């Protein structure tokens, strides 16, 4: 599936998912939106990508709507890909979202199905920056690496839990 995006004269990007060039919009400039169309993943250009802005707005509206009715909660869970019984305070992320956190400014690591933010430690890690970056963004499961660390370090990590990994609907189908 090719992903096309159009840049209108206003400078805002209108994204669409098509099998070729963007025929839906009559604009001459094209930019790329690499967000997964099946989950809550948004592209790096969310500030100018209308499709990702719509997705982000729908996600932020879901908890407010879901609390008022069981039906709305069920609809919200379908839209976000989460099970209806999930606690709204528990953060969940797909691998599509996790993969975006693989650099020195945002290095998230995966331990089993738990995601931790290693960014605060990246520059002071005794093993060096590359040891974290090599496995960040879900590139590898760091369960064995976590066991290697002292109990004190493992307890410290718990403070930097970001959330839990859930399957992207694209991977489920």
Provide DSSP, 15-82. EEEESSS--SS--SEEE-----TTSS---TTTTTBHHHHHHHHHHHHHHHHHTT-HHHHHHHHHHHT-
Quick: pLDDT tens for 48-105.
Answer: 899 899 888 887 665 544 444 444 444 444 554 444 444 446 899 999 999 999 999 9
User: Strands 92-93, 161-165: parallel, antiparallel or unpaired by DSSP?
Assistant: parallel
Q: Could you give phi then psi for residue 3, rounded to 5 degrees?
A: -115, 125
16-45: average pLDDT = 63
User: Quick check: pTM over 0.85?
Assistant: no
């Amino acid at each position: 599936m090719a992903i096309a995006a159009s840049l209108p004269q206003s400078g805002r990007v209108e994204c669409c998912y098509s099998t070729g060039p963007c025929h839906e919009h009559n604009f001459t400039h094209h930019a790329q939106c690499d967000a997964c169309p099946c989950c809550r993943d948004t592209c790096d250009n969310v500030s100018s990508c209308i499709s990702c802005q719509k997705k982000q707005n729908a996600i932020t509206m879901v908890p407010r709507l879901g609390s008022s009715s069981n039906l709305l909660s069920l609809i919200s869970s379908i839209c976000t890909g989460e099970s209806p019984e999930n606690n709204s305070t528990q953060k969940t992320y797909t691998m599509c979202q996790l993969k975006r956190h693989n650099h020195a400014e945002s290095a998230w690591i995966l331990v089993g199905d738990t995601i931790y933010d290693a960014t605060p430690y990246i520059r002071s890690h005794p093993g060096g920056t590359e040891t974290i970056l090599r496995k960040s963004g879900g590139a590898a499961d760091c369960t064995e690496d976590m066991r290697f660390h002292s109990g004190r370090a493992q307890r410290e990590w718990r403070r930097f839990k970001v959330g839990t990994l859930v399957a992207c609907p694209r991977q489920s189908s």
